[in-house]
Amino acid sequence: MDQSDYLLKLAARFRHATLKRDFDALAQLNREVHDVATAMSTKRVLNASERESLALLKIAHRSACALLASESERLVGAMSELGSRRAGLEAYALAQRSA
């Protein structure tokens, strides 16, 4: 059975979730793509339309992965900054309690 339309819809949903920075939707879509890829791996030959749709889905998936990597780097930096200021923040909190 031809999966082209479904793959294109998945690609569009990935693109939409990536643009909205909807990380919950991206996680769900990633699980869905895993299931689709597993099912398609048993198919011996993909038709031209399926190959093209799959290529577009790969591009959308890579874009989502790039966003997630960028966000991860940003969060690591923010956590490192908080860690480096921890002593000062704790001292400030203690001073506020004492006041």
Is the pLDDT at 1 greater than 80? The verdict is no
Confidence class for position 91, pLDDT limits 50, 70, 90: confident
- Distance of CA 28 to CAs 4, 16, 42, 85, Å? 20, 13, 22, 35
Q: How far apart are CA 28 and CA 17, in angstroms?
A: 10
pLDDT at 29: 96
Confidence class for position 89, pLDDT limits 50, 70, 90: confident
- Cβ atoms of 25 and 10 within 8 Å: the answer is no
- Cβ atoms of 63 and 18 within 8 Å: the answer is yes
Is the pLDDT at 41 greater than 90? The verdict is no
pLDDT at 5: 95
Q: What type of residue is 65?
A: C
pLDDT at 48: 94
